[in-house]
Amino acid sequence: MTNAYVPFLSQIKEIIRHTEIEYTFRMHYEGAVKPGQFFEVSVPKFGEAPISVSGIGEDYVDLTIRKVGKVTNEVFENQEGKSLFMRGPYGNGFQISDYEGKELVIVAGGTGVSPVKGVIDYFGNHPEKVKSMKVIAGFKSPKDILFKDDIKRWEKQMDLTVTVDAAEEPGYRVGLVTKYIPDLTFEQKENVAAIVVGPPIMMKFAVEELKKREICDEQIWISQERKMCCGLGKCGHCRMGDAYICLDGPVFRYTDGKKLVD
Ligand SMILES: Cc1cc2nc3c(=O)[nH]c(=O)nc-3n(C[C@H](O)[C@H](O)[C@H](O)COP(=O)(O)OP(=O)(O)OC[C@H]3O[C@@H](n4cnc5c(N)ncnc54)[C@H](O)[C@@H]3O)c2cc1C
Ligand code: FES
C-alpha cells in the first residue's frame, strides 16, 4: 500500500513573476486535476503549505504562491529546473458541469483569483458552454495585479472588470469588487451561477451584494481557505462544524458554506 503522505518530486518548468512576492511556479505534473483543488508543497526541514492549482496544462500545473512565511520563503529560493516536493491533488475543486449553460458570474479578490482561474480559462476557451461570463477581479493596488498576461486575453473573451482598491495613477477602475456587483445585468436571474473567492471579509460582502440582486444561496459557490495539515481528512486541523475543508471542500455551495463555523 502506498503512503499518501510521501510526496513526489516535481521539476519547476517555468517561473512567472507577477509581483515581488507573488510568483507562479509551473510544475511538471501529468495526471487528473481540477481547478480549485490544491497540492501540499513541501520543503524538507521547513514544512508543507497547501497551494491551489492556478493553471492546468498537459504536463504541468501552475501554483501561484505568495511569499508569506517559512515554507513559501524557501520555495522562492528555487529557480527553473530545480524541483519541489508535492503531494496531491486534494480537495473537491470546481465542478465545471455546475456552471455549463449558466450566466456565470465570478467575483475574485487578490490570490483568490488563483483557485478560480482554471474555471475562467476553461469557459474563456469554450464560450459556447456558458450563456455568458462576467468576471470581477479585485486587487489592492496596480502593483498587486496578478495574471496580467491572462487578463489581456480575458478582456477579449469575456465581460471583465479589473478593479483596484486604490491607485495613485489614472487608468484604473477604483473601488472594492462589491461596488461593481449592482451593475451586473442578467437575462434570467434563476439561471445565474456565481463563484466568489477571496479573503473572508470580501466573500462575506460580495455574497451579500449578490443576494441583494436576488441570487440565492444555491446559486453561489465559495472556496474556503483554512489552516491545514494532512490535506487528507485525517488530522482534523481543517475541520469546521461537520466539514473537513480539505476533503469536503475547499469549494462549497453557499447553502453548505454558510454553515461552516468554528
Ligand atoms: C486550500 C488552500 C489553498 C491555498 N492556496 C494558496 C495559493 O494558491 N497561494 C498561496 O500563496 N497561498 C495559498 N494558501 C495559503 C497558504 O497555504 C498559507 O499562506 C501558508 O501558511 C503559507 O505557508 P508558510 O509556511 O510560507 O507561511 P507561515 O510561516 O505558515 O505563515 C503564514 C502566515 O502567518 C504569518 N506568520 C508567520 N509567522 C508568524 C508569527 N511568528 N507571528 C505572526 N504571524 C506569523 C505570516 O505572516 C503569514 O501571513 C492556501 C491555503 C489553503 C488552505
Ligand atoms: S487538513 Fe487534516 S483533516 Fe483536513
Atom of ligand 2 at shortest range from CA of 236: 3
Q: Which CATH superfamily is domain 8-90 in?
A: Translation factors (2.40.30.10)
The amino acid sitting at 248 is D
* Long-range contacts, stretch 154-162, CB < 8 angstroms, 24+ apart: 154/120, 154/124, 157/124, 157/125, 157/127, 157/133, 158/120, 158/123, 158/124, 158/127, 158/133, 158/134, 159/132, 159/133, 159/134, 159/135, 160/134, 160/135, 161/134, 161/135, 161/136, 161/137, 162/137, 162/138
Q: How far apart are CA 184 and CA 207, in angstroms?
A: 14
Is pTM beyond 0.85? Reply is yes
Residues linked to residue 138 through DSSP beta bridges, in sequence order: 109, 163
Q: How far apart are CA 99 and CA 57, in angstroms?
A: 21
215, 192, 163: which is closest to 105 by C-alpha?
192
Burial of 6 from C-beta contacts in 10 A (0-12 / 13-18 / 19+)? exposed
Ligand 2 centroid, distance to 198 Cα (angstroms): 21
Q: How far apart are CA 46 and CA 181, in angstroms?
A: 41
- The pLDDT, as a whole number, for residue 1 is 66
Walking along the chain (262 residues) 10 residues at a time, the average pLDDT comes out as 88 97 97 96 96 96 96 98 97 97 97 95 96 97 96 96 93 94 96 96 95 96 91 93 93 92 66
Ligand 2 centroid, distance to 235 Cα (angstroms): 5
Tell me the ligand closest to 73's alpha carbon.
Answer: 1
Topology of the domain covering 96-257: Rossmann fold (3.40.50)
What residue spans define the domains of the chain?
A: 8-90, 96-257
Distances (CA, A) of 41 to 14, 63, 82, 90: 16, 9, 14, 12
- The pLDDT, as a whole number, for residue 262 is 63
| Among 51, 90, 224, 238, residue to substitute to test ligand 2 (most atoms within 8 Å of Cβ) | 238
